[in-house]
Structure 1
Amino acid sequence: MELLLQRPYECYDEDKFHDECGVYGIFSKSPQINVAKRTYYGLYALQHRGQESAGIVTCDGKSMNCHKGMGLVSEVFNNEIINGLQGHSAIGHVRYSTAGDSVLKNAQPVLGEFKLGSIAIAHNGNLINADIIRELLEDSGVVFQTSIDSEVILNLIAKGSGKGILKSIIDTMQAIKGSFGIVILTENELIGVRDPYGIRPLCLGEIDGNYIIASESCAFDATGGNFIRDIEPGEIVVINEQGIKSYNFGEKTKCATCSFEYIYFARPDTIIDGISVNDSRVKAGIKLFEEHPIEADVVIGVPDSGMPAAIGFSKASKIPFEIGLIKNRYIGRTFIAPNQEERESAVNVKLNVLKESVEGKSVVLIDDSIVRGTTSKRLVELLKNAGAKEVHFRVCSPVVKYPCYFGIDTPYRDALIGSQLEIHEIKEAIGADSLEYLSTEGLYECLGKSEGFCTGCFHGKYPISAPVKECNGEEN
């Protein structure tokens, strides 16, 4: 039990699942719209989906301009750079790496040349057959500049471009397997593609009669746009001067949206496949109390994704909701990890206890999930050191027992505390006075239906056959 929690340094954000990235695209027929600036604002709204790198490609109908770099959107771009990215269309990307190293050459969008001109692509998700396709392309003479899935997709499209861009994209989408929300930019079109199971979100919006595509609807609000609809699983949306057209590339399509989009990844002000993220989280808190009632003095949430559920738990239980943990929002990617001697106090840098809210009280602590358990243990310690009489840990998702292979950076099973220990053992390991999780049935109730979601990380049943990986990372 102790060995499981004795991992290298973990700060709060690092003991969470991480989504791979966010994408944004715009095609404008209005000269007054600065597409680079709109894309910049869109990426800012999607910053929570990736903080390692950011990039924008614009097109004026003849050529493409690209700027990308390591770091946050605000670190990569300034007014001078944005004003230099001219054009009537653009795509952008923020990245957290799950496939390929975190280096500049792997920053997206990826830009290339092919028979029909220039093409750029930005991808959110993960392909499970990328290595096989890469090897086949290399055998045919293709030279890769990066180690990411997106370049595999781009080269596959380019290789079949003699059949026309749309046919090549359809053939490519039928060849790749995994999760993807993709925006593609050609010299005269913006194209959006969502995988046949809709694992990763992608939606369509408009701004002054011009179309935009983004990973989350919150990006439309940030850029002055309006939400139209979600792009359907297995759908290709093509936008050009003539307007918008939709095509289906997969005969077998079935919605299986990643449940963790609602639990943790997406911003609360986003709507995915008709479901409000904030509303689902508040309902999770209500359902959590219904399933596991308790008497206590105060309910507090772990910022940020645990807050709506804490509000819901408070409403259902009539236990007062308080702000008990303060989050430092000014720590970027340059945050220096402490050494072994300092790691015990590392969580305090990002999260600190408001002592007056918890001192002498029985506290219900609400979090979205427990992954390794390292931070959960430290949070319990922080609350008790601040004078909390009891800490009752409540988790607004089922027990995470399995890794994800579809665009989420997850540990191997031996590092998932829910895979190694029973709930009562996890309680002892993190030092809580009690510990309860939301049931799978409860999660479905909060989402409003009992199907249409990927819950592979809870039960090991995935919408697509997944590779089996041991802790050394080798596939069986």
Structure 2
Amino acid sequence: MCGIAGIVDSGGVSLPLYYALYALQHRGQESAGITTYHAGRLYKHKAQGLISEVFNREILEGLYGTAGIAHTRYPTTGENRPENTQPLNFTLKGHQFSIVHNGNLVNNDDLVSDYEEYGHIFATTTDSEVIAAIIARELTISGSMEDAVVLCMRMLRGSYSVIAMLDETIYAFRDPLGIKPLCIGKTENGYMVASESVAMDALGADCIRDVRPGELVRINGNGISCRQITRSDRSALCIFEYVYFARTDSVIDGVLVYDVRRRIGKMLHHEAPVDAEMISPVPDSGMSIAVGYSEASGIPFKEGLIKNRYIGRTFIMPTQTLRENAVRMKLNPIRGHIKNKSVVLVDDSIVRGTTSRLIIELMREFGARMVHFRVGSPPITNPCYLGVDFPTRKELIAHNRQPKDVQSCISADSLHHVSLEGLIHATGHSADDLCTGCLTGCYPVQIPNERSSCRHIDFIHGSYQTTLQF
């Protein structure tokens, strides 16, 4: 899970890219970087840390140019190493080339082996460099970035939203199933692409639409053009974008995330009503789910936990020890709200269960009489191979455990997960157009030793659209 952005704007791009990254900080906290292009050279800065730690005014003022791309990283492939920080930057036959990527390739190791046979030397352990290698080799053969993207879509298996910059032109493309989000916006003097619409809101830009699955978007000083490279009988948007990853105020594939989470909350009440005195969210992603539960149940919404805004998201912290130590620093119960109360505590998901258990123990320590846990996703029973940190089944608390056993593990008085059918209904999408592999064990792409329901993908031979189609 990462956040990416690319902008071409005659008014300059370093500050807009910085603000866009700030709006996408929730998608990754390990590292950040910006690369811009001006007068035949790249200007770049990247480092490990939060965006506020990586950049300052002096650095941003030195990133010249009217085209640029940016990235904030949470690693799913590749270790926490400085060389894995993006954008990745290259010089190729007199041209300047940079790339950022959100997603995860399931055939990364095979592709690395193939390209090493061609003589390619890899300088990182991230799968983003494999995409760069495919593009670079095709550029040396055909000289066409469009042909290189077509080749990517033929060779890559997994999830990917990619933004590449070849000199002053930006190319953005989304995998044929649309697993990871990407959208198009209009800035004051140009165009942009970004992982979520909130990046455009932060700049006062207009979000035009989502990049379609299998679509290539080209942006330069002359404007924007689009080409549909593939069509699929079904898409496979990651359902957890709506449950957890995306910001609540984002619009993902035409659907406002806040509305989805509010509907999930209402569904939770209808599926498992409980007699309680207050509804309390686990902030922040449980907030709008709790609002929906309160509206449907008539039980008052009251915050029982206050979040320290200067602590990051514990789920995407890279080690379990950091996640556990962060909980007490991150969340503090309000004793006066929860003492001697029966509380419905609402969270978006339970992954390993450690955080949920610690939060419930905190609520009891501060006086809650009963804690009923309601969860905005079905039990996560399978790993994710497509860009989410659900790495192994043995780490998932719900794998091979019944709900009653999980309830006991996290010390809740009652536990209910929203049903898969209820969650899908809340998204407004068809079940056939969502990736639910972590919930069902059936994945939209072929993965060794796993069940799959692969989509049929056709490649289209056609010319560019000269204007955006809605």
Tell whether the structures are fold-level matches, with TM greater than 0.5: yes
Does the residue aligned with 1:393 lie in a helix, a strand or coil?
strand
Q: Which residue of 366, 371, 375 maps to 1:386?
A: 366
1:339-385 residue CA offsets vs partner (Å, 9 max, x unmatched)? 99x99875211111111111111100000011111111111111111
Counterpart mapping for 1:279-298 below 5 A? 279-298=259-278
Q: 2 CA distance for matches of 1:232 and 1:343?
A: 35
Alignment pair present for 1:275 and 2:258: no
| Matched residue, 2:6 | 25
Give the superposition deviation at 1:136: 1.1
Give the superposition deviation at 1:460: 0.7
Counterpart mapping for 1:209-224 below 5 A? 209-224=189-204
Alignment pair present for 1:71 and 2:49: yes
Q: Which residue of 365, 388, 408 maps to 2:388?
A: 408
Q: 2 CA distance for matches of 1:206 and 1:411?
A: 37
Counterpart mapping for 1:63-462 below 5 A? 63-115=41-93, 117-161=95-139, 162-163=141-142, 164-252=144-232, 254-331=234-311, 347-451=327-431, 452-462=433-443
Q: 2 CA distance for matches of 1:228 and 1:289?
A: 35
| Matched residue, 1:59 | 37
Q: 2 CA distance for matches of 1:197 and 1:427?
A: 35
| Matched residue, 1:472 | none
Q: 2 CA distance for matches of 1:282 and 1:208?
A: 33
Give the ranges of 4+ consecutive aligned residues of structure 1 lying more than 6 Å apart after TM superposition: 336-340, 342-345
Q: For structure 1, list consecutive stretches of 5 or more residues without a partner in the other structure.
A: 1-19, 470-476
Mean alpha-carbon deviation: is it higher for 392-401 or for 251-260? 251-260
1:71-99 residue CA offsets vs partner (Å, 9 max, x unmatched)? 01111111110000101100000001111
Tell me the C-alpha RMSD between the 2 structures.
2.1
- The code of the aligned residue for 2:264 comes to A
Give the superposition deviation at 1:449: 3.1
Q: For structure 2, list consecutive stretches of 5 or more residues without a partner in the other structure.
A: 451-470
| Matched residue, 2:458 | none
- Total equivalences in the alignment: 445
Does the residue aligned with 2:100 lie in a helix, a strand or coil?
strand
Mean alpha-carbon deviation: is it higher for 112-121 or for 213-222? 112-121
1:177-236 residue CA offsets vs partner (Å, 9 max, x unmatched)? 110111110113111110111000000001124110000000001112110000000100
Asked whether the 8 Å contact 1:233–1:254 carries over to 2, the reply is no
Give the superposition deviation at 1:314: 0.5
1:14-51 residue CA offsets vs partner (Å, 9 max, x unmatched)? xxxxxx211000012x2xx2301100000010000000
- The code of the aligned residue for 1:438 comes to V
| Matched residue, 2:456 | none
User: CA 1:425 to 1:93, structure 2 compared with 1: closer, same or farther past 3 Å?
Assistant: same
Q: 2 CA distance for matches of 1:346 and 1:218?
A: 26
Give the superposition deviation at 1:238: 0.9
1:238-292 residue CA offsets vs partner (Å, 9 max, x unmatched)? 1123322211222436321100000000001100011100110011101110111
1:381-416 residue CA offsets vs partner (Å, 9 max, x unmatched)? 111111111111100111111010001111310111
Does the residue aligned with 1:245 lie in a helix, a strand or coil?
strand
User: CA 1:239 to 1:343, structure 2 compared with 1: closer, same or farther past 3 Å?
Assistant: closer
Asked whether the 8 Å contact 2:159–2:386 carries over to 1, the reply is yes
Give the superposition deviation at 1:307: 0.6
Counterpart mapping for 1:7-46 below 5 A? 20-28=1-9, 30=10, 33-46=11-24
| Matched residue, 2:454 | none
Q: Which residue of 11, 22, 26 maps to 1:48?
A: 26
- The code of the aligned residue for 2:8 comes to F
- The code of the aligned residue for 1:186 comes to L
- The code of the aligned residue for 1:24 comes to A
Asked whether the 8 Å contact 2:385–2:391 carries over to 1, the reply is no
Does the residue aligned with 1:239 lie in a helix, a strand or coil?
strand
| Matched residue, 1:11 | none
| Matched residue, 2:448 | 467
User: CA 1:201 to 1:344, structure 2 compared with 1: closer, same or farther past 3 Å?
Assistant: closer
Please report the TM-score for the alignment, with normalisation by the length of structure 1: 0.90
Q: 2 CA distance for matches of 1:254 and 1:463?
A: 9
- The code of the aligned residue for 1:190 comes to I
- The code of the aligned residue for 2:206 comes to N
Asked whether the 8 Å contact 1:365–1:393 carries over to 2, the reply is yes
